[in-house]
């Protein structure tokens, strides 16, 4: 363990490996599990001092414990096929989701028939209906995510529900700049919700947001290092080597494969798999610089709170037209109160606000205006995560495909959320995509 409590597994001598994997996030760990299982000697390299990539937590001396994102896992995840030892470490939870709508109500996520549609009144209802009809007949041509959403729920409900504002807040760009391909792949729920039968059923049964059927789980209270430490221990037993805080400097092609230069030496391998940002990998290889692949910087605010909370749910999405924050997660609902105080993390996409101070001011103002927290709200800490996820602007998918094929021409396989510039909302999706990539061998 290092001073920060992270597990470290350092190389003792320079070695040659069958495969070097860049990045010790979910994609890198699953790739290592598959390749070690096939008898390869594997080295995983990461810039961070910890394993698990963007699964990062922070715990205060008093015992408050937060993550950079709202990290929820499931007991039927394919990740557990690779690392069954994780299951015993997860904490079973019963999360509930809500949404702050533009009318200032905490209501169902992602849409409420009662609060977003019926509450619009007779005039609002006829506007919703008219705008859906208009879109279906006159706005059939789609070239971006806004066109897609408008076609299904109409411009009026798109605005009234706050969905358009949330898309901008989440993806860091206006909905009309978001790639249509992403909408087709990842926003299908909008078309499902828009089916009249489904809406009618929801209205009649007044069903609350139905939770998933599998068991939901959070990481152990002690942090991700305990969770992924168990996976690392097994990989190490299978012969995988880890080099953390590596200081990766350069990747060069040799007659036998590759040489990877680190801050303290050079390692070689026949094969390199990269799960690090595609632009970083291109820079390390010295290939043509990659442009047009921007990523989100995420500011996460860690608060503790004592007083009256204006909502019941553990996770709230901000669909209102104001406030820069996008989601808050009440961790004390999962891990219990500390010193009789609740605690929660607030995710804010950097852009509209640029610093922790601005993000905090903006959140306090907006939460107070919407009656979310009445009492003593204390900022315990914060974290800034660069490269949190890709920005899917129009044309980014093509630029990413070009960059990945450029790396492939150099001999490097670039995969994963950052390596493939892929929308991977969950560790489940990251696992499946790595499995698919490795299956073709």
Q: Give the shortest CB-247-to-ligand FAD separation in angstroms.
A: 8
Element (H, E) at 135: helix 121-138
Out of 17, 64, 66, 73, point to the residue binding ligand FAD (CB under 6 A). Answer: 73
Can residue 349 be called a binding residue for ligand FAD (CB under 6 A)?
Answer: no
Q: Cα 106–108–109 angle (5° rounding)?
A: 105
Task: Using CB under 6 A, pick the residue from 6, 21, 35, 53 that binds ligand FAD.
Answer: 53
- Whole-angstrom Cα Rg for the chain: 23
Give yes or no for residue 172 binding ligand FAD (CB under 6 A).
no
| Closest separation in Å from C-beta 5 to ligand FAD | 17
Question: What is the maximum span of the chain, computed from C-alpha positions, in angstroms?
Answer: 75
> What number of CA atoms fall less than 13 Å from residue 401's CA on the CB side?
4
Does the footprint of ligand FAD cover residue 26 (CB under 6 A)? yes
The interface with ligand FAD within residues 273-302 (CB under 6 A) comprises: 275-276, 280, 298
Whether the Cβ atoms of residue 278 and residue 420 lie closer than 8 Å to each other: yes
Distance CA 63, CA 377 (A): 17
Does the protein bind ligand FAD through residue 229 (CB under 6 A)?
no
Q: Select 209 or 306, whichever has its Cβ closest to ligand FAD.
A: 209
Residue nearest to ligand FAD (CB): 53
Q: Which is nearer to ligand FAD, 153 or 173 (CB)?
A: 173
Output 46 or 413, the one with its CB closest to ligand FAD: 46
Smallest separation, CB 367 to ligand FAD (Å) = 19
* Residue 430 half-sphere exposure toward CB, CA atoms < 13 A: 28
Q: Which is nearer to ligand FAD, 298 or 356 (CB)?
A: 298
Minimum separation from the CB atom of position 184 to ligand FAD (A): 20
Please tell me the count of residues contacting ligand FAD according to CB under 6 A. Answer: 37
Q: Sign (positive/negative) of CA torsion 132, 106, 193, 426? A: positive
Q: How many residues does the chain have?
A: 441
**Do 396 and 279 form a contact (C-beta atoms < 8 A)?**
no
The least CB distance from residue 68 to ligand FAD, in Å, is 6
DSSP string, 284-327: HHT-SPP-S--EEEEEEEEEEEEEEES---SEEEE-SSS-SEEE
69 part of the interface to ligand FAD, by CB under 6 A = yes
Tokens 């749910």 belong to residue: 313
Q: What residues make contact with ligand FAD under the rule CB under 6 A?
A: 22-28, 45-48, 53-55, 68-73, 246, 248, 275-276, 280, 298, 388-389, 416-418, 424-428, 430
């Amino acid at each position: 363990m290092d001073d920060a409590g992270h597990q470290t597994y350092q190389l003792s001598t320079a070695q040659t490996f069958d495969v070097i994997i860049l990045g010790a996030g979910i994609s890198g760990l699953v790739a290592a599990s598959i390749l070690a299982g096939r008898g390869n000697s594997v080295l995983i390299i990461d810039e961070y001092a910890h394993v698990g990539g963007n699964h990062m937590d922070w715990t205060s001396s008093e015992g408050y414990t937060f993550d950079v994102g709202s990290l929820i896992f499931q007991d039927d995840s394919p990740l557990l096929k690779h690392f069954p030892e994780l299951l015993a470490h997860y904490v079973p939870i019963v999360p509930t989701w809500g949404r702050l709508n533009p009318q200032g109500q905490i209501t169902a996520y992602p849409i409420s028939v009662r609060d977003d549609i019926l509450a619009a009144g007779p005039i609002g209802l006829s506007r919703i209906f008219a705008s859906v009809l208009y879109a279906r007949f006159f706005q059939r041509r789609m070239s971006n995510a806004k066109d897609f959403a408008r076609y299904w729920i109409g411009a009026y409900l798109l605005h009234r529900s706050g969905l358009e504002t949330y898309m901008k807040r989440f993806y860091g760009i206006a909905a009309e700049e978001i790639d249509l391909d992403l909408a087709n792949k990842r926003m299908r729920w909008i078309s499902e919700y828009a089916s009249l039968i489904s809406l009618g059923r929801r209205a009649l049964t007044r069903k609350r947001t139905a939770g998933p059927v599998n068991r939901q789980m959070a990481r152990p209270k002690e942090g991700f290092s305990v969770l992924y430490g168990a996976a690392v221990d097994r990989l190490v037993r299978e012969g995988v080597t880890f080099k953390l805080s590596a200081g990766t400097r350069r990747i060069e092609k040799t007659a036998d494969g590759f040489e990877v230069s680190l801050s303290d030496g050079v390692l070689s391998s026949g094969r390199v798999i990269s799960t690090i940002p595609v632009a970083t990998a291109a820079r390390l290889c010295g290939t043509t610089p990659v442009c047009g692949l921007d990523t989100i910087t995420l500011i996460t605010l860690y608060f503790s709170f004592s007083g009256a909370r204006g909502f019941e749910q553990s996770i709230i999405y901000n669909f209102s037209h104001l406030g820069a924050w996008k989601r808050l997660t009440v961790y004390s609902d999962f891990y219990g109160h500390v010193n009789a105080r609740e605690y929660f993390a607030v995710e804010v996409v950097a852009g509209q606000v640029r610093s922790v101070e601005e993000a905090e001011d903006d959140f306090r103002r907006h939460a107070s205006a919407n009656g979310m927290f009445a009492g003593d709200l204390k900022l315990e800490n914060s974290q800034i995560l660069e490269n949190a996820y890709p920005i899917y602007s129009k044309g980014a998918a093509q630029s990413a495909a070009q960059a990945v094929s450029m790396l492939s021409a150099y001999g490097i396989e670039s995969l994963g959320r950052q390596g493939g510039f892929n929308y991977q909302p969950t560790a489940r999706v990251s696992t499946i995509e790595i499995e698919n990539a490795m299956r073709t061998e």
